[in-house]
Amino acid sequence: MAAAGNESPNKSTEDKTSARRQNEVNKKLKYTSLAILVIQNASLILSIRYVRTLPGEHFFTTSAVVMAEVLKVFTCLVIILIQKRGNVKTFVSLLYDSIVVQYSDTLKLAVPSLIYTLQNNLQYVAISNLPAATFQVTYQLKILTTALFSVLMLRKSLSKIQWISLVLLFAGVAIVQVEQEGGKQKEALTGTNQNYVKGLVSVIVSCLSSGFAGVYFEKILKGSSASVWMRNIQLGIFGTILGLLGMWWNDGAAIAEKGFLFGYTPLVWGVIFNQAFGGLLVAVVVKYADNILKGFATSFSIIVSTITSVYLFGFHVDLIFTLGAGLVIGAVYMYSLPKPNTSTSSTSTPSSSHSNGRDSELDAFLPKSVLVK
């Protein structure tokens, strides 16, 4: 009895120590997640902007989109093979069953894959024609489009704070665009053969496609047992095929003359690897990050992009841009705040929807090979 009595305090102490260590690990994972999210959000936009504004002939963006899809599919195949401990027979059987036998589920991914392929190409157009900071701020409109499509298609509910944040988000983007339209940035872009209107239209269409594709992807795959890696393979197959068709349509003659890898420098390869692996990496990292942390990371990456753009691209920051960007940053953070809990049973559905939204955010983000969250 005495021995048993001694075991209980010792076990309690061990449990407390274990819980304390787990909390420390979780805290480190959260901060690591924050750093990775910020680096991913900022570096991708800045690197694309940099390689697309260098003097001389540029690589074909359509070929870069295809290459990113191929690398993403290859990476997911390797991960699944490792999960099957190198058993090729089991690996091939799983692929055949998931892609061919369950062809109806595979075909459902054709629509979001088409939209994501279009979106990836539009992002290149937008970043090539807009300052990195302006793109980063304007692209946060995807939060607005995703929220609206979620309400319309999934019947999700938003809190008052989220609705207010969406209004502030729209106001902030509008202020930035008004300032850019009549300011020095437009003159600078005109002088470098960049089309501001073309970039603006591209980013707006990209936001619309991002919102619709993410919500549609969540809707058709609810209850699906497929792993995120298999989903990416299915999406990547369609993405590669559609990307090749787009490449042939837009740049077929030029690529036939100059080659698929024309203009691929180490910097360009860096951008493509960032596109292919960055999305998968961040999708895994998001598992350790809550909505507040993701919102903070997005907001902080806007600041990083703006400051870096000043030094790399001579971007001009004035009071109006600061006001608009500040509203966007505040709106992103407000929107990520958790919904207030209430005691009524009717609020349990929005809460669960919000929880499901976090899962869908992970899934919806996975197939995007260019975009920040």
Query: Cα-atom radius of gyration of the chain, to the nearest Å?
Result: 23
> Which pLDDT band, with edges at 50, 70 and 90, does 370 fall under?
very low
Among 81, 131, 122, smallest CA distance to 206 is for 122
Query: What confidence tier does 9 reach under pLDDT thresholds 50, 70, 90?
Result: low
For residue 289, what are the CA distances in angstroms to 29, 36, 292, 336? 8, 11, 8, 12
Q: Residue holding tokens 């971007």?
A: 315
Which residue from 371, 48, 60 is spatially nearest to 244, judged by alpha carbons? 60
368: left (phi over 0), alpha (psi -120 to 50) or beta: beta
Cβ neighbourhood burial of 98 (10 Å; 0-12, 13-18, 19+): buried
- Residue 181 CA to residue 74 CA, distance in Å, equals 42
Average pLDDT over residues 174-180: 83
pLDDT for position 235: 87
254-296 pLDDT, tens digit per residue, is 999 999 999 899 999 999 998 888 767 766 666 666 666 677 7
CA atoms in the 13 A half-sphere facing the CB of 69: 27
The stretch 236-252 carries a mean pLDDT of 91
